[in-house]
A and B are shown apart, each in its own frame.
Chain A
Amino acid sequence: MVLKKGKIPISEGEYAVLKKILEKDIEEFSLNDAEKLFGLEKSKVASIARLLETKSLAKVRESLKEVYVLTRKGIDAIEKGLPEESLLNLLIPRGEVNIKEARITLDDAEIAIGLAKKKGLIEIRDGKIRLKVKREEAEKMVTKIRKSLENMKFDNEVEKELLARGLIKKEGKKEVLIKIDKDALSKVEVVYSRLSHEILSKRAIEGINLMEYNIYAEPPKIYPARKHFFSEFIEMLKDIMVELGFKEVQGPLIELELFNFDLLFQPQDHPAREIHDTLRISENINVNVEGYRDTIKKVSMEHENGWNYKFDEEKTKRLVLRSQTTSVSVRTLLTKPEPPIRFFTIDKVYRSDVVDASHLPEFYQLDGVMGDYGYTFRDLLGFLKEFAERLGLEIKFKPSYFPFTEPSVEGYANINGRWVELFGAGLFRPEVLRMTGVDYPVGAWGMGVERLAMARLGVNDIRLLYSEDYNFLRSFKMRGAI
Chain B
Amino acid sequence: MPVLRFNAERLMELTGLEINPLMDALFSLKCETSLNEDNELEVEVNPDRPDMYISYGISRAVKGIMNVEIGYKGVEASSSDISLRSDSPSTRPYIALATIYNVKLDEIIIKELIQFQEKLHDGIGRKRRKVAIGIHDLDKVPAKDLLYTYKSLDEEFIPLGYKRMSIRDALKETGQGVKYGGISVKNNLHPAIVSGGEIISLPPVINSDITRLDEKTRNLLIDVTGTDAYYVNKVVDIIVSNLYEAKGVGIGKVKIIEDGKSEETPRLEEKTISANAKYINSILGTNLSPVEINYHLLRARLNATINGDAIVVRVPPYRVDIMEEADVAEEVAISIGYNSMIPRKPKEMMKGGLLEMSKLKRKIKDLMIGLGFTELMSLTLASKHEMEKLGLKGLIAISNPIQEDYNSLRPSLIISMIKAMSKNRGAEKPIRLFEVGRVVSFNDEVKESENLAISIMDESLSYEDIQAVVYSLLRVLGIDFSIGEGGKGYLLKGRSSIIKIRGSEAGFMGEVDPRLLLKFNIDYPMVYAELSLGEIVGSTG
CB of A68 within 8 A of chain B?
A: no
Minimum Cβ distance to chain B for residue A94 (Å): 56
CA distance A269 to B284 in the complex (A): 31
B residues in contact with A280, CB < 8 Å: 398-400
* B window 77-101: CB within 8 A of A: none
Binds B, one of A57-65, A161-169, A175-183, A237-245: A237-245
How would you classify the secondary structure of chain A's contact residues: helix, strand, loop or mixed?
mixed
CB of A15 within 8 A of chain B?
A: no
* B window 359-416: CB within 8 A of A: 362, 365-366, 369, 371-381, 396-403, 405-406, 409
- Counting chain B residues whose Cβ lies within 8 A of the other chain, the interface size class is 35 or more
CB of B329 within 8 A of chain A?
A: yes
A residues in contact with B371, CB < 8 Å: 225
B residues in contact with A465, CB < 8 Å: 377
Which of A243, A386, A399, A427 is close to B30, meaning CB atoms less than 8 Å apart?
Answer: A399
CA distance A13 to B334 in the complex (A): 81
Tell me whether A282 and B398 are in contact (CB under 8 A). yes
CB of B516 within 8 A of chain A?
A: no
Tell me whether B339 and A247 are in contact (CB under 8 A). no
Minimum Cβ distance to chain B for residue A341 (Å): 9
CA distance A244 to B122 in the complex (A): 42
Q: A271-B126, A469-B424 are in contact. Are A430 and B324 (CB under 8 A)?
A: yes
Interface size, chain A (Cβ < 8 Å):
82
CB of A276 within 8 A of chain B?
A: yes
Q: For residue A353, which residue of chain B has the nearest CB?
A: B402
CB of A279 within 8 A of chain B?
A: yes
* A window 282-312: CB within 8 A of B: 282-283, 285, 306, 308-309
Tell me whether B399 and A470 are in contact (CB under 8 A). no
CA distance A79 to B261 in the complex (A): 112
Tell me whether B333 and A377 are in contact (CB under 8 A). yes
Which of A271, A282, A378, A384 is close to B396, meaning CB atoms less than 8 Å apart?
Answer: A282
CB of B130 within 8 A of chain A?
A: yes
Tell me whether B28 and A378 are in contact (CB under 8 A). no
CB of B476 within 8 A of chain A?
A: no
B residues in contact with A285, CB < 8 Å: 442, 445-446
CA distance A258 to B462 in the complex (A): 50
A residues in contact with B341, CB < 8 Å: 377-378, 381
B residues in contact with A230, CB < 8 Å: 377
Minimum Cβ distance to chain B for residue A50 (Å): 31
Binds A, one of B185-193, B430-438, B504-512: B430-438
Q: For residue B130, which residue of chain A has the nearest CB?
A: A269
Tell me whether B346 and A386 are in contact (CB under 8 A). yes
* B window 280-294: CB within 8 A of A: 282-286
* Max chain A Cβ within 10 angstroms of own Cβ: one of B30, B324, B352, B380: B352
Q: A383-B345, A473-B375 are in contact. Are A254 and B402 (CB under 8 A)?
A: no
Tell me whether A429 and B326 are in contact (CB under 8 A). yes
Which of A253, A283, A308, A429 is close to B228, meaning CB atoms less than 8 Å apart?
Answer: A308
CB of A155 within 8 A of chain B?
A: no
Minimum Cβ distance to chain B for residue A198 (Å): 27
Minimum Cβ distance to chain A for residue B328 (Å): 9
A residues in contact with B344, CB < 8 Å: 376, 378-379, 381-382
Tell me whether B126 and A406 are in contact (CB under 8 A). no
Q: A361-B406, A381-B341 are in contact. Are A243 and B352 (CB under 8 A)?
A: yes
Tell me whether B325 and A430 are in contact (CB under 8 A). yes
B residues in contact with A309, CB < 8 Å: 228
Tell me whether A306 and B283 are in contact (CB under 8 A). no
Tell me whether A468 and B27 are in contact (CB under 8 A). no
Minimum Cβ distance to chain B for residue A100 (Å): 61
Minimum Cβ distance to chain A for residue B255 (Å): 24
Which of B32, B126, B345, B351 is close to A382, meaning CB atoms less than 8 Å apart?
Answer: B345
CB of B419 within 8 A of chain A?
A: yes
CA distance A271 to B129 in the complex (A): 12
Q: A225-B369, A352-B400, A376-B344 are in contact. Are A401 and B380 (CB under 8 A)?
A: no
* A window 174-197: CB within 8 A of B: none
Tell me whether A377 and B47 are in contact (CB under 8 A). no
Minimum Cβ distance to chain B for residue A28 (Å): 43
Minimum Cβ distance to chain B for residue A328 (Å): 12
CA distance A408 to B30 in the complex (A): 9
Minimum Cβ distance to chain A for residue B409 (Å): 8
CB of B420 within 8 A of chain A?
A: yes
CB of B123 within 8 A of chain A?
A: yes
Tell me whether B427 and A250 are in contact (CB under 8 A). no
CB of B350 within 8 A of chain A?
A: yes
CB of A54 within 8 A of chain B?
A: no
Q: For residue A345, which residue of chain B has the nearest CB?
A: B355
* A window 454-482: CB within 8 A of B: 465-466, 468-471, 473-474
Q: A228-B377, A376-B284, A382-B344 are in contact. Are A399 and B396 (CB under 8 A)?
A: no
Minimum Cβ distance to chain A for residue B315 (Å): 14
CB of A150 within 8 A of chain B?
A: no
* B window 217-249: CB within 8 A of A: 228, 230-231
Minimum Cβ distance to chain B for residue A267 (Å): 10
Minimum Cβ distance to chain B for residue A276 (Å): 7
B residues in contact with A474, CB < 8 Å: 374
* B window 317-351: CB within 8 A of A: 321, 323-327, 329-330, 333-334, 338-339, 341-346, 348-351
Q: For residue A370, which residue of chain B has the nearest CB?
A: B346
CA distance A267 to B324 in the complex (A): 16
Can you list 13 A-B contacts with CB-CB less than 8 angstroms, sorted by A residue number?
A231-B365, A242-B354, A281-B397, A308-B230, A352-B402, A383-B346, A399-B334, A468-B419, A469-B423, A469-B427, A470-B374, A470-B420, A474-B374
Closest 3 CB pairs of A and B: A376-B285, A245-B350, A378-B285
A residues sitting closer than 8 Å to B (CB atoms) are 223, 225-228, 230-231, 235, 238, 241-250, 252-254, 269, 271, 275-276, 279-283, 285, 306, 308-309, 321, 340, 342, 348, 350, 352-355, 360-362, 370, 374, 376-379, 381-386, 396-401, 406-409, 427, 429-431, 441, 465-466, 468-471, 473-474
- Excluding A228-B376, A254-B448, 11 further A-B contacts by CB distance (< 8 Å) are A228-B375, A231-B365, A243-B352, A281-B398, A285-B445, A340-B348, A376-B283, A384-B343, A399-B30, A399-B330, A401-B46
